[in-house]
């Protein structure tokens, strides 16, 4: 069996020059006829636009006005963004004493309800003011002061009254208006 290479075959020796000859004839035949005129016109229009844009005569005062307008728009945007939103006065109200317990809380804006909500409502130790720690067991819930010796069980516990305390806070704010 003889090993043949593609470059030594008769088809390659005859096909290469024949393909080249046919390519030359077709190019000469189509040279006078328009091919892909739409594509050529699109590229031509883009080139003409870029050329005219880059060769546009600019006046110095146009550039100065554009810079002043840009700076003015940036200034107005920053001015309106930095304006503080007038927050209601009651947001400063974060601590009070209800039912012999001192309570602390935070306020948080609720996007869904579009109103301010009381969050992190916590009872505090009556002796030192530290937030009480809740320890739940099977039988009872115990509230302990981590700093002092204060401890209380479920009876008299503050968390049974959290919803009531929220209602009292909101009522107090409404009455102050």
Query: Which residue, of 53, 82, 111, is where some domain finishes?
Result: 82
> Tens digits of per-residue pLDDT, 32-61?
666 666 777 888 999 999 998 888 788 888
Query: Which residue, of 32, 61, 82, is where some domain finishes?
Result: 82
pTM of the model: 0.47
Does 125 lie in the same domain as 146?
yes
Sequence-distant (6+) residues with CB within 8 A of 96 are 102, 103, 169, 172
Q: Which of 6, 5, 30, 26 is nearest to 16 (CA)?
A: 6
How many residues comprise the chain? 177
Query: Which residue, of 52, 67, 82, is where some domain finishes?
Result: 82
Does 66 lie in the same domain as 13?
yes
- For residue 84, the 8-state DSSP code is P
Does 171 lie in the same domain as 93?
yes
Is residue 29 exposed (0-12), middle (13-18) or buried (19+ Cβ within 10 Å)? Answer: exposed
Place of tokens 């927050």: 87
> Tens digits of per-residue pLDDT, 116-134?
888 888 888 877 878 888 7
Per the structure, the count of domains in the chain is 2
Q: Is 116 left (phi over 0), alpha (psi -120 to 50) or beta?
A: beta
Query: Does 170 fall in a domain?
Result: yes
Does 55 lie in the same domain as 75?
yes
Does 70 lie in the same domain as 116?
no
Domain with 96, as residue range(s), is: 89-176
How far are the Cα atoms of 90, 105, 143, 149, 163 from residue 96, in angstroms, in the given order? 13, 9, 19, 22, 15
Q: How many angstroms separate the CA atoms of 46 and 155, rounded?
A: 83
Does 94 lie in the same domain as 74?
no
Rounded percentage of the chain residues whose pLDDT exceeds 90: 10
Does 96 lie in the same domain as 72?
no
pLDDT for 164 beyond 90:
no
Q: How many angstroms separate the CA atoms of 130 and 33, rounded?
A: 93
Does 130 lie in the same domain as 57?
no
Does 52 lie in the same domain as 115?
no
Looking at the chain, list the stretches that DSSP marks H as alpha helix, in order from N- to C-terminal side. 10-30, 37-54, 60-82, 162-176
Average pLDDT value for residue range 105-126: 85
pLDDT for 136 beyond 90:
no
Does 170 lie in the same domain as 125?
yes
The 3-state DSSP class for residue 52 equals helix
Query: Does 1 fall in a domain?
Result: no
């Amino acid at each position: 069996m003889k090993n043949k290479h593609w470059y030594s075959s008769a088809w390659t020796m005859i096909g290469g020059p024949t393909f080249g000859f046919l390519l030359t004839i077709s190019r000469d035949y189509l040279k006078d006829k328009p091919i892909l005129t739409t594509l050529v016109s699109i590229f031509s229009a883009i080139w003409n636009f870029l050329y005219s844009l880059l060769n546009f005569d600019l006046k110095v005062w146009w550039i100065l006005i554009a810079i002043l307008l840009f700076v003015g728009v940036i200034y107005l945007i920053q001015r309106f963004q930095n304006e503080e939103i007038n927050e209601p006065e009651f947001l400063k109200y974060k601590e009070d004493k209800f039912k012999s317990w001192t309570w602390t809380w935070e306020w948080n804006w609720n996007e869904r309800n579009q109103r301010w909500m009381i969050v992190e409502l916590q009872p505090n130790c009556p002796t030192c003011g530290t937030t009480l720690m809740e320890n739940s067991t099977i039988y009872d819930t115990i509230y302990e002061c981590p700093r002092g010796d204060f401890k209380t069980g479920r009876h008299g516990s503050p968390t049974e009254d959290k919803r009531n305390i929220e209602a009292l806070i909101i009522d107090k704010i409404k009455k102050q208006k």
